[in-house]
Amino acid sequence: MHAPIVPLVLSLAIGYLVAALCLRPGRRAVASQAFAICLGAGAGLAITSGLAFVLLCGNLLSVRSLAGAEAGLVVALAGLYYAAWRRAAPQPAPSHSVPRAVLGRIGVWIVLAVYLGALVCGVLTWTGFARPHGEWDAWAIWNLRARFLFRGLSQWHDAFSPFLPHADYPLLVPGSVLRTWLYMGEDATSGPLSVGFVLTFASVGVLTAGTALVRGASQGLLAGLLLLATETYVRQGALQYADVPLSFFILATVVLLSLAASLPERKAGLYLLAGLAAGAAAWTKNEGMVFLVVVLAVLALVRLVAGGFRDAIAAIAMFLLGAAPFVAMGAYFRLFVAPPNDPMLAQGAAAARAHLGELARYRVILRGFGQALSNLGPGDLHPLILPGLYLACLGWNRDRPSVVNAATGGGVLLLMFGGYVAAYASTPNDLDWHIRNSAHRLLVQVWPAFLFVLFTFARSPEQAASVVRLPRVAQSPPTRKRTPRKR
């Protein structure tokens, strides 16, 4: 059995070079480089899965054609990166402008040691939960489709038969598994396991490094620690559900939009990457298409209010340019490849409107989400308790960039929740069954992005300490020493 090292290294190289060309991270900036690497891990899988789909549609897909196309892409991107590196002046690391007096070097190293320990525990937990073929969605949808494509490339259209479950679902996960198997030469279980592992822990890295770029190292490490401590998130990644890959691209989009607001000198490249991440989300699951529309609407509104008409047009143009390849592939897939297999569309508009008008369904939906939220973590260690206490103790930032970032990220998450509620309210399936089997996975999709918004809106320990003033101790007037009178 061959290990899936070559396909993962190639996708990481492609993703990192694309991220580095847009981000221009400083060579000595640890957080910037870590963010580019972790972002590139997921972006590379998205780009290479799309490249595999293009070759598949042209009946050209083989290990030789795929390797040649990816190697050529690496060479071209490396040449562009070298040319940009030679031309560009040294870029300073993004500054988060927070004081560093509280934790100091020793405190940050302690938090880093705890973070690394939690990362090891997360890896061990992931491997403990991992099953070779994953859970239902993995072996019945994603890996099944990849196996159909791998074993029958000459008849690849049969992988999208209407008799197969959810044949209309997008192809980022099956495409990534397919290209991994092509390089390995066999459909071994290590292929989908490696894809799930990379995207699970790349999410942790993007959350940690992205929060560190905006709010400082200690804040980033704390955010990453909390995601690692969310057992449901790690378990869903190990069971190879596509909700964790989708959560990666949702998180990456929100982080990149926040960085674009904080770093105006690099906003063009950041908006381009944000569009790429949102497009990749649409290429991952159907919920990703809703996310793409939501982000576009929120971005247009926020930039129109914060920067004016021209700023909004420029941001939207770069965002759409980044999303365009995945939007084009998704449109071709829907129009010419995938069968009409969505029960919500099959029920008709009249039935959907009737469901949306039943108020009793909304009570069931809210109760189901409440139950899913309570099951996100065990009892006293629920992952919502610590963030709530943290925000209550340290307070939140009221400066304009923090408010703009919170409005962008919070608006996206709020509208996504509204989309989830509308989807449940209009579903033709049994509502209780539908919520019971999917509400917890919808929370997983937005959980990392929620943590990023919370930790960038909350004050860091350094910021909270900078506004604390110790009371001055009242000093008593000096007493005069009495000298005995001479008699």
Type of residue numbered 322: G
Q: Is 323 left (phi over 0), alpha (psi -120 to 50) or beta?
A: alpha
Average pLDDT, the chain: 86
Interhelix angle 243-262/190-215, nearest 10 degrees: 20
Confidence (pTM): 0.90
Whether the pLDDT of residue 487 is over 80: the answer is no
Q: Which residues pair with 458 in a beta bridge?
A: 396
Query: How many angstroms separate the first and last alpha carbons of the chain?
Result: 109
User: Which three-class secondary structure string do you get for 367-388?
Assistant: HHHHHHHHCCCCHHHCCCHHHH
Whether the pLDDT of residue 432 is over 70: the answer is yes
Evaluated on CA atoms 457, 463, 467, 473, the torsion sign reads positive
What value does the mean pLDDT take over residues 243-270? 94
Cα(260)–Cα(21) distance, rounded to whole angstroms?
15
- Measured CA distances, 474 to 403, 471, 477 (Å): 39, 9, 9
pLDDT tens digits along 365-419? 999 999 999 888 776 678 888 888 888 888 888 887 788 888 899 999 999 999 9
Q: Are 228 and 471 in contact (CB under 8 A)?
A: no
Cα(461)–Cα(99) distance, rounded to whole angstroms?
9
* DSSP annotation of 265: G
Q: How confident is the model at residue 312 (pLDDT cuts 50, 70, 90)?
A: very high
CA of residue 62 relative to chain centroid, distance: 30
Q: What percent of the chain has pLDDT over 90?
A: 55
pLDDT tens digits along 142-176? 999 999 999 988 899 999 988 888 888 999 999 99
Extents of the domains making up the chain: 5-88+116-463
pLDDT tens digits along 10-36? 999 999 999 999 998 765 578 899 999
Q: How confident is the model at residue 350 (pLDDT cuts 50, 70, 90)?
A: confident
Scan for tokens 């469901």, then name that residue: 355
CA angle, corner 102, sides to 100 and 108, nearest 5? 75
What value does the mean pLDDT take over residues 49-71? 96
Whether the pLDDT of residue 83 is over 60: the answer is yes
Question: Residue 316, class by beta-carbon neighbours within 10 Å (0-12 exposed, 13-18 middle, 19+ buried)?
Answer: middle
- Measured CA distances, 269 to 18, 263, 322 (Å): 10, 10, 9
What value does the mean pLDDT take over residues 89-101? 47
Q: Are 466 and 395 in contact (CB under 8 A)?
A: no
Q: Are 95 and 213 in contact (CB under 8 A)?
A: no
pLDDT tens digits along 98-148? 444 344 555 555 666 667 767 777 676 666 666 788 888 888 899 999 999
